[in-house]
Amino acid sequence: MENHQVEVKIPEIMLNSGHKMPVIGFGCAILPPLPQEEEVTIFIQAMENGYRHFDTASYYGSEEALGEAIAKALEIGLIKDRDELFITSKLWVTDTHYDLVLPAIKTTLSKLRLDYLDLYLVHWPVRVKRDANVNHLLEGEVLPFDMHGTWKAMEECCELGLTKSIGLSNFTCEKISKLLQNATIQPAINQVALRWIYEQGASLVVKSTNKERMKQNLKIFDWELAEEEKEKILHITQRRLGKADGFIVPNGPIKSVEEFWDGDL
C-alpha cells in the first residue's frame, strides 16, 4: 500500500442534522467537460491535497468520474473508508417533482458507486420539462414548481438512508420561509476571496483543475484578514451574477428575474 500524506487538514462544521461537514468543498463542475479519465485524475489530485468534501450534481455530468475516483482512492489506500469523504450532489430541475426525486437520487448513487450521500440539495427552485434543453427553454417548458411535494420527497430520501442531510441551493430567504411552513426536516444548508467567506462562519466550494491552485485554495487557515480589510470587503457593492433569466419564458410560471429572486438582486 502506498504512503499517502494529506497536505492540509480542513476544519469541519456541525450541520443541524448532527453531521459534520468540511468547511471547504471541491467543486466538481468542470466546464467544458473533460474526458472522464482526466476528471478522475483531477479528483484524485484534490484528495491528495487534502480535500474530503466533493460537491457534484446531476447537471454537472461529473458523478461517474467522481465515483471512479473514489473507488480508485480506496483501492490505492489514499482513503481507508468511504466515511472519510463528504459527498454532496444535487437534484436537477427536470426532477423537482414528488414522484421523480427518489429515482433521481438512486441514479446519482449508481453513478457515484455509493450507498448514500452526505448531502443532497435541490439545485434550483424551478421545474422544467424532462426533454427540454435547459440552455434554451421555450414556452411551455418551465412548469409550476411544487416546492412542498419536492421537499417531502427529499425528506423521504433522508429517512430511507439514501442521504444523511438535505438542503437547498439558490433559494431566497422568502422561499426558505415558505418551505419551512410544511417541512418536517429543516434544510441543513442553502448553498449560494475565500478567507472572507470562511471568517463569516460559512462553508465554501472551490474549484480548479490545476494542482498548484488546489493547494493555494486551502491556504487560508494560518492567517486572518485585518479589521480594515474586512470593512473594505463589507462595503463592496454586491450584485447577483447568475440571474437565472433562462427560466423566464413566455406565459411561464415565473414572470421576471425580480420575481424569481423575490426582489433580492
Binding residues for substrate, as ranges, are 123
Half-sphere exposure of 74 (CA within 13 A, CB side): 12
Angle at 166 between CA 165 and CA 172, to 5 degrees: 140
Cα gap 40→38, rounded to integer Å: 5
Residues 6+ apart with CB under 8 A from 179: 147, 148, 151, 168, 171, 187
- DSSP symbol at 189: -
Report phi then psi at 153, rounded to 5: -70, -35
Q: Which residues contact 239 (CB under 8 A, 6 or more apart)?
A: 265
Copy the grid coordinates of residue 235. 462595503
- 51 classed as catalytic: no
Catalytic residue among 60, 116, 120, 198: 60
Query: Which ranges of the chain does DSSP label H, i.e. alpha helix?
Result: 36-48, 63-76, 98-112, 147-159, 173-180, 194-199, 211-216, 227-234, 257-260
Catalytic residues, by residue number, are 60
